[in-house]
Structures are given as structure tokens and as C-alpha cells.
Structure 1
Amino acid sequence: MPVNNKGENNPMYGKKHSEESKRKMAESRKKYKRENHPQWKGGVRITSNGYIEVLVPDHHRARGNGYVFEHILVAEAAINRRLSPNEQVHHVNKIKTDNRPENLQVVDIAEHARMHAKERRQGKYLKCVICLKEFYRKPSHVSKAKCCSLKCVGHYTHLKKKGKLA
């Protein structure tokens, strides 16, 4: 039968570590930092959302813990310059761990957001009958949509009244 050492049954319940014990524990922990830790993997790890991180504390894009996303390092090496603050790296094949240079594309933040927004949308992309721009309409509005903007709708209505559109 397992021993229940929770709460009041724990032998340390209500007790505090002495200052000497705290000092010894802190010294012991120092021995197991980074390279000395048995689970050290060379400063490379995979984040909870699937990206590979590399320990490069002095990099301009390093987070507070000193890690940088590997795709940023690979993209910067491929373009021979640092990424500017308004640039992001896009994985073309959508595999977060595939950091080959040919799979990475440097884009500005707005373009990257547009790329991923298109993936999430359920409606359709249509072509405006007036200006020929591509525009998006949600599923319930696809059948009625012909124009991308109010300006084009006004132009379309005017042409239709004159009989220039079928």
C-alpha cells in the first residue's frame, strides 16, 4: 500500500529549511546548469508550439532566456543580413521544424498575417467585376458578391443602369 506523504502526513509539514540547508541546495543546483546537467541537449530544444530554439544569448532576436528560433538564424544566414523588426520568417510547407533555407521565406509582418489568414477562412476569394482585384467574402455572402468595395458597387450599379453590363 502506498504511503501518503501529502499535507500533514509529510515529515516536513510545518518545518522550514535551515539557512545552511538552503545554501547547500543552491550550491548543488549550480553544479547542474546547462552543459553539466544530465539532460543538456547542446542548447537546442523544441518549444511547446513546435518550433526549434537554439541558445545564442548575444543574438539581437534572443529572448530573455537566451534562446532564438532556429528558422530566424537560418533565414538571416541565407539573406546575409539581420532581419529587421518588421520582418518574420514563413515556413512555406507549414512544417515548423523544417528549417531548410529553401523552405523559409522572409516576409513583412502584414504579409505573413495575410498568408495565414487565408488558411483559416471558410469563404471564397472572388475577382471584382469592376477593378479585377481579388477579394474575400464569407460563405453566406459568396452568391451575392460581385464587387470588392462600395466604390466598385457604385460603379457597377451605374454601368448596369446604362445597360453596359449584362
Structure 2
Amino acid sequence: MSNNNNLNIRYNKSGYRQYQANDGGWEYTHRTVAEKKIGRPIEPNEHVHHINKNKVDNRPSNLVVIKDNIHREVHRSDYNEKNSCFNCGRTSHWAQDCYASYDIDGNRL
């Protein structure tokens, strides 16, 4: 992904930005950016969450890779990103202050 002028870019029906990979397939920009940020592929039980809820804001600082169950929790109707932990899913603290050993469903972190 060198020069945006050489990339075929589209937005899917859900509003996520995609680019055409060298093999001709379409890749999600936010997933590629997140994988580079964490230095590994995203696992099947993980999602990339846009912290500010803007699907086209793919800056590394706006993306966090979180487990499926935590992702569901942060998208609850009363979710507030200012008081939710992306590590464990609780709303009593931020991720940087998290010392939990288990997530909200009792799964070991």
C-alpha cells in the first residue's frame, strides 16, 4: 500500500473503506491499519473498533483490536467510550487503568 493514487478504493454498503489488494481481492483499510499497529494478524474472535465511531477514520490512534464479546459490550445502547474498558468490557475504568484478569463474561484475559 504505497501510493493512494495507485490504489483502487471503495466504500462498502456499511460505510467501511476498502482497497484492492495485489491479488485483486478487497481488503478493509481499518483491519490492515490495526494489524500493522499490533504487529500480527487479527484473530477470528477479534474485531477492530473505531473509538470515535467514525468508520472512515482509520488512524491507528482511533483503532483498537478487541474480543468479540467486548465489542458487543461497547456497542450497547448506553455505551460511552469515555468510561469503557476495551480490555475487559467494564464501564468502571479505562483500558489503561485495567488490572482485570477476566472479562465481563468470565473469560481469562
Range class of TM-score, shorter chain: 0.5 to 0.7
Deviation, structure 1 residue 57: 5.8
Matched residues in 1 for 2:27 and 2:77: separation?
27
SS of 1:78's partner is helix
Higher relative CO (Cα under 8 Å, sequence separation at least 6) belongs to: 2
Give the structure 1 partner of residue 54 of structure 2.
95
Shift of the 45–115 alpha-carbon distance from structure 1 to 2, 3 Å rule, reads same
Matched residues in 1 for 2:40 and 2:27: separation?
16
Shift of the 119–44 alpha-carbon distance from structure 1 to 2, 3 Å rule, reads farther
Shift of the 42–57 alpha-carbon distance from structure 1 to 2, 3 Å rule, reads closer
Matched residues in 2 for 1:104 and 1:53: separation?
15
**Number of residue pairs the alignment of both structures matches:** 76
SS of 1:117's partner is coil
Give the structure 1 partner of residue 99 of structure 2.
none
Q: Report runs of 4+ in structure 1 exceeding 2 Å deviation.
A: none
Deviation, structure 1 residue 44: 1.1
- Structure 1, unmatched stretches of 5+, are 1-40, 59-64, 121-132, 135-166
Matched residues in 2 for 1:74 and 1:110: separation?
22
Deviation, structure 1 residue 117: 1.7
Kindly report which structure 2 residues correspond to 1:12-161, keeping only aligned pairs within 5 A, or say none. Answer: 42-56=7-21, 66-119=25-78
Query: Identity percentage over the alignment?
Result: 38
Question: What amino acid is the match of 1:70?
Answer: T
Question: What amino acid is the match of 1:93?
Answer: N
Output the aligned Cα RMSD.
2.4
**Normalised TM-score (structure 2):** 0.61
Deviation, structure 1 residue 56: 2.0
Question: What amino acid is the match of 2:54?
Answer: I
Question: What amino acid is the match of 1:95?
Answer: N
Matched residues in 1 for 2:25 and 2:66: separation?
24
